[in-house]
Chains A and B, each alone.
Chain A
Amino acid sequence: DAKTTQPPSMDCAEGRAANLPCNHSTISGNEYVYWYRQIHSQGPQYIIHGLKNNETNEMASLIITEDRKSSTLILPHATLRDTAVYYCIVRVLGGQNFVFGPGTRLSVLP
């Protein structure tokens, strides 16, 4: 599975959009981009995933560049409860496991 690079930390003002970047320059054609988050010491929570088209659900939007070498997770109106570590993972559909890197620690500030 391709490796990802994320900034170690980011701040965002409450109510503003949080844009979390992820680089995956070695991604292959059949690898999906997944995002999970972990709030404090809770179990990680699935957010969204996509292959090449932009995706949106009730939690977030995922924007994948045309060359698929990077993506951005967007939380449109961040709240204090969105403070968490966000993990970007690339993985083949049906791949054997999810490899979690260090992620980005997002702090939403009042």
Chain B
Amino acid sequence: DSGVTQTPKHLITATGQRVTLRCSPRSGDLSVYWYQQSLDQGLQFLIQYYNGEERAKGNILERFSAQQFPDLHSELNLSSLELGDSALYFCASSAATNEKLFFGSGTQLSVL
């Protein structure tokens, strides 16, 4: 158990819908990262937050947004969903000075 909690574990929805994925980092970790893993793309970095502020942005679509709240949990919002958004979405956290990333078990999103 990495200490990073992601909910829900599975999500099935339809095209055009909007979903929210939630991540609770390890206790004390200030940084939260979001990654997308699809079969043909591997692990793709989406976005990073540090103590509530956006720190880095990767290949995140404009239809996707994220935020980190004062209690340090983070949410990834995916809107106008398309079939191609079906993937595993991972959240990871790290401490301010510790460079190890700890990953959650992921949310499997299926867009039908």
- Chain B residue numbers with a CB within 8 Å of A102 are 42
Cross-chain pairs A/B with CB under 8 angstroms, 18 sampled: A34-B99, A36-B101, A41-B108, A42-B105, A43-B90, A43-B105, A43-B106, A44-B92, A45-B103, A49-B99, A87-B43, A91-B99, A96-B56, A97-B45, A97-B48, A97-B58, A100-B45, A102-B42
| B interface residues (Cβ-Cβ under 8 A, vs A) | 2, 4, 33, 35, 42-43, 45, 48, 55-56, 58, 88, 90, 92, 99-106, 108
Contact: B55 with A44, CB < 8 Å? no
Distance in angstroms between the alpha carbons of A48 and B27 in the assembled complex: 21
Distance in angstroms between the alpha carbons of A94 and B56 in the assembled complex: 12
Does residue A99 face the partner (Cβ distance < 8 Å to B)? yes
Q: Would you call the interface of chain B mostly helix, strand, loop, or mixed?
A: strand
A-B contact sample (6 more), CB < 8 A, given A49-B99, A87-B43 = A43-B103, A43-B105, A46-B102, A93-B99, A97-B58, A101-B42
B33, B48, B102, B103: most-surrounded residue (chain A CB, <10 A):
B103
For residue A87, which residue of chain B has the nearest CB?
B43
Asked, given contacts A41-B88, A43-B2, A101-B42, whether A96 binds B103 with beta carbons under 8 Å apart, the answer is: no
Contact: A43 with B4, CB < 8 Å? yes
